[in-house]
Amino acid sequence: MFVVDWSGNVRPLETTMATPLLERRMQAALASRGTSGDAIYNAARARAHAMNLTGRVLEFGAGTGTLIAQLVADGCTCTFTGADLLPRPAGIPGNIEWIHADLNAPLPSPDGSFDAIISTEVIEHLENPRAVFREFSRLLGPGGRLLLTTPNQESIRSLASLIVRGHHVAFLDESYPAHLTALLRKDLERLCLEAGFEPPVFSYTDSGAVPKWTSVTWQSLSRGRLRGRWFSDNLVAVTRRA
């Protein structure tokens, strides 16, 4: 597979990063199959439907195509394209386009190709979030919308990990090199500003593990009353290209 780097040079994928690091990232991608948890998908689906998405939609980091399939099953009539480091999944409907590419580099799609981009739990895996946001801006036409999820660094669990273990909980050594970049809400606001997007609107998955007892959630302990930023493992950001 070949990719186009940020300077416009075409090169084999294996030369875009050190081979051992590429292999470890590929192993991590294969292990997860690029899929996320139900709470993340449910939050993304709810926001996507609230946005009344129409037209051409890119799932940037589509994994096995799970979210696309869910949105189609929900009745979304958009024209979907999936892009991922993983190859086209077997069984994905033929009318779904697929771009097999390293998401650290620009996609082989013309400017303004899409009306909306959905990217769930991807930005934290990539090397240069600013370059990725510039790519989002390039791929979207004016008024194009972006829906993005990423680990929530401002939860009680993540902040406790930062104090006790020196890093946010989703970015400790056991998560490297799959998870590279921890982004706060302020970081996402700045990325949007720099890349020509409106200020993002944030919401949360309302699903969060209790520190040290990760099989238990705040929501199960509180009968759903503990919600939002302090008690969610992941956030959702929605914005629009100016």
Task: Kindly report, residue by residue over 72-98, the tens digit of the pLDDT.
Answer: 999 999 999 999 999 999 988 889 999
Q: Examine residue 132 and state whether it is found in any structural domain, yes or no.
A: yes
69 belongs to a structural domain: yes
> Which tens digits make up the pLDDT trace of 46-65?
999 999 999 999 999 999 99
- Residue 132 in tokens: 């990725």
The domain that contains 61 carries what CATH number? 3.40.50.150
Do 220 and 167 contact (CB within 8 A), yes or no?
A: no
State pTM to two decimals.
0.87
Half-sphere exposure of 162 (CA within 13 A, CB side): 11
176 domain-assigned: yes
Q: How remote is the C-alpha of 111 from its chain's centroid?
A: 21
Residue type, 180: L
185 assigned to some structural domain: yes
2 in a structural domain: no
Range of the domain at 105: 18-240
pLDDT band for position 10 (50/70/90)?
A: very low
**Residue 160: count of CB within 10 angstroms of its CB:** 14
Asked if residue 1 is part of any domain, the answer here is: no
6 domain-assigned: no
Domains contained in the chain, number? 1
Per-residue pLDDT tens over the stretch 216-236: 999 999 999 999 999 999 999
